[in-house]
Structure 1
């Protein structure tokens, strides 16, 4: 009976974590470049159930009843990096990556971050920055990394993805990774301790990549998870009532 309480409770905890991840996806459905998370589940090890009710010649023997599943838990939360739909904005400082890779940016302490969110702005010094204030990195004509400083906000990408900057022709530094090496950071950024490769993905100006969250899929999953949570909750309540009767009624003197 007590074991059943733990199994039902583990199911409720698991569904709660799933619901929280789906809620975060819903909250970021309109965030450009956002990638949804998927929760992987695992079952705990099965337990062999047996008793010694079988008695032969006054001796009790083990009687195997079968195996019992010990419930379900969270195995891992993995990010789905599939491409989102590109939406035209006609804003000159909006950019979208069509293909693999991430824009490479640095904060004021030169810590590198990676993002698919291409909403940029230009500061008073002409530096191209993210809306959070991180500087955007590019590659100069010598293929060296450099901060992007543009002469004016009307710069245009050429057919090969290059553009004129204060330091001559440059391209965006698009970094690609084995996605297992990436970790989500705050504000739609990713971090990695591994060395990235340079991707030759197409960068489109005047576009933004929408999040890859499917609203219908998320709502359907939320309904399913809520029903599973309620089922585990009812089982838990019934077991609690049974235990209450056992403690208060069984063996009482009448």
Structure 2
């Protein structure tokens, strides 16, 4: 009796975890850059009954098998990092990532990584995410645009025309066809992205930041956002 209750409880718990995961995925179906979570379950037998004594006949073997209890439990939860669809926003501060990689941002807890390219100008004229985290350059500095006209190329270089106070980067600015280069967005990738820790608000934490490397084939698309990769049909 108790064994059947434990089996039922394990199934109910597994269903609860699955429903919670699905609910979180659906809640973020419209969140830019969101990566959906998936679950893997495993089942196992409680063989205590058969190990208690020897089985001497086919009849006893059948009875012993019937006394075994099959439990189910979540074995692993992982993040699906497949590409999401790109949609046009026409906002010069929106960027979508096309390919494998992440945007590096500075938070109170340290460096984090995101695929959500919704950006805005912070109180000091720097690029920040919609959550207020500072978008950092490949030299680990803020990128000051100071309300100027911003162009971001496919390599993540931020060019500024007009505005005021771009002198934040005196001696470090270069001039090109799009204006002055205020810095290059720090873009990183990881050899094992499934090892990243999902923290919420579209942020990921690396258990070993030293594993960060320059991405290969990653393109930054200005005026676009990457949609979530949640598939509502499956």
TM (norm. structure 2) is: 0.80
Distance 1:214 1:159, change over 3 A: closer
d(CA) in 1 for partners of 2:202 and 2:26?
A: 14
d(CA) in 1 for partners of 2:126 and 2:31?
A: 23
1:97 matches 2:108: no
Q: Describe the superposition over 1:46-67 as per-residue Cα deviations: whole angstroms up to 9, x where unpaired.
A: 4265599x99xxxxxx932253
d(CA) in 2 for partners of 1:49 and 1:159?
A: 63
- 1:153 Cα deviation from its structure 2 partner: 4.1
- 1:159 Cα deviation from its structure 2 partner: 5.3
For the 8 Å contact 2:4–2:69, the answer to whether it is kept is no
- Residue equivalent to 1:136: 135
1:186 matches 2:184: no
- Residue equivalent to 2:142: 147
For the 8 Å contact 2:84–2:226, the answer to whether it is kept is yes
Question: What do you get for the CA RMSD once the two structures are aligned?
Answer: 2.6
Q: Of 190, 203, 206, which residue of structure 1 is paired with 2:220?
A: 203
Segments of structure 2 that go 5 or more residues without pairing to the other structure are 161-165, 174-180
- Residue equivalent to 1:171: 184
- 1:133 Cα deviation from its structure 2 partner: 0.8
d(CA) in 2 for partners of 1:94 and 1:27?
A: 22
- Residue equivalent to 1:212: 229
Distance 1:190 1:160, change over 3 A: closer
Segments of structure 1 that go 5 or more residues without pairing to the other structure are 56-61, 218-254
- 1:181 Cα deviation from its structure 2 partner: 2.5
- Residue equivalent to 1:87: 87
Residues 5-16 of structure 1 aligned to structure 2 (within 5 Å): 5-16=5-16
Which structure has the bigger radius of gyration? Answer: 1
d(CA) in 1 for partners of 2:110 and 2:155?
A: 28
Q: How many residues align?
A: 207
- 1:86 Cα deviation from its structure 2 partner: 0.6
d(CA) in 1 for partners of 2:188 and 2:201?
A: 18
For the 8 Å contact 2:125–2:144, the answer to whether it is kept is yes
d(CA) in 2 for partners of 1:13 and 1:48?
A: 22
Distance 1:97 1:211, change over 3 A: same
1:162 matches 2:167: no
Q: Describe the superposition over 1:162-214 as per-residue Cα deviations: whole angstroms up to 9, x where unpaired.
A: 23364323221111111132001121111112121121410000000000001
d(CA) in 2 for partners of 1:71 and 1:37?
A: 23
d(CA) in 2 for partners of 1:159 and 1:44?
A: 50
Q: Describe the superposition over 1:94-143 as per-residue Cα deviations: whole angstroms up to 9, x where unpaired.
A: 01110011110012x3611111001001023210001111100112xxxx
